[in-house]
């Protein structure tokens, strides 16, 4: 590669370690590039150098394993499923598309999965189109929770409430452009716990 800045290389390694410890997930190349004021291709080249030196292993999108025990070494491979509607419900595709390594400590021994938000109905709470959402796999949720709700063969991400008087379940968007949906029944597949974003 072109001239290597050893100070930048060390700073980048430290940044990846600190980011993982603080966020329980690896930084993206966009995160690294923005932090150091460099372009993504340069960030990618330097990360490849760190991998070649055996100091880390790039497993996939936002999934980096640190060789030294400076971060959690008990990472768990969390399945990344299909898109989840943040708008009108879409077909529920439960097939595993890939895996993302997250720290076991952050998951607290509970089963999780990751879905990709599609649409803009949850933008008021920071869930944008294309964001990855970490979901705790449970089948019950308190009123006000943001849930993955299965309606027949459709899945959607909404805030849930129960209207006991009407005996309806309310699926409430976080965008004034969308209306609350009233349904008789839905299956809760999980509660959204964390949004995983790329900074481009």
Domain with CATH 2.10.109.10 in the chain: 75-196
Q: Which residue has the higher pLDDT, 175 or 100?
A: 175
The mean pLDDT of 167-184, rounded to a whole number, is 95
According to CATH, the topology of domain 6-66 is Arc Repressor Mutant, subunit A (1.10.10)
Q: How far apart are CA 32 and CA 98, in angstroms?
A: 22
**pLDDT tens digits for range 81-111:** 878 887 766 656 667 778 887 877 778 778 8
Task: Report the mean per-residue pLDDT for the chain.
Answer: 85
What pLDDT, on the 0 to 100 scale, is given for residue 185? Answer: 92
pLDDT at residue 55 is higher than 60: yes
- Name the one residue in this structure whose structure tokens are 């999934």: 63
Domain with CATH 1.10.10.10 in the chain: 6-66
According to CATH, the topology of domain 75-196 is Umud Fragment, subunit A (2.10.109)
How many residues are given for the chain? 200
On the CB side of 189, CA atoms within 13 Å amount to 21
What is the pTM (predicted TM-score) of this model?
Answer: 0.63
* Catalytic annotation, residues: 121, 158
**pLDDT tens digits for range 188-197:** 999 999 998 7
Q: List CB contacts of 5: < 8 A, sequence separation 6 or more.
A: none
The mean pLDDT of 156-184, rounded to a whole number, is 95
């Amino acid at each position: 590669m072109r001239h290597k800045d050893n100070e930048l290389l060390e700073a980048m390694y430290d940044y990846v370690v600190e980011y993982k410890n603080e966020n329980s997930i690896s930084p993206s190349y966009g995160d690294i590039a923005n932090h150091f004021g460099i372009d993504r291709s340069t960030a990618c080249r330097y990360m490849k150098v760190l991998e070649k030196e055996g100091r880390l292993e790039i497993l996939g999108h936002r999934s980096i394993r640190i060789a030294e025990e400076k971060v959690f070494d008990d990472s768990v491979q969390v399945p990344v499923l299909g898109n989840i509607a943040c708008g009108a419900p879409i077909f529920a595709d439960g097939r595993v598309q890939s895996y993302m390594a997250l720290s076991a400590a952050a998951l607290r021994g509970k089963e999780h999965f990751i879905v990709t938000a599609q649409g803009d109905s949850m933008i008021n709470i920071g869930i944008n189109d294309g964001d990855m959402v970490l979901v705790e796999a449970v089948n019950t949720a308190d009123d006000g929770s943001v849930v993955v709700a299965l309606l027949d063969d459709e899945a959607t991400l909404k805030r849930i409430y129960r209207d006991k008087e009407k005996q309806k379940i309310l699926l409430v968007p976080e965008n004034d452009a969308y209306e609350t949906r009233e349904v008789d029944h839905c299956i809760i597949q999980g509660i959204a716990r964390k949004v995983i974003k790329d900074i481009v």
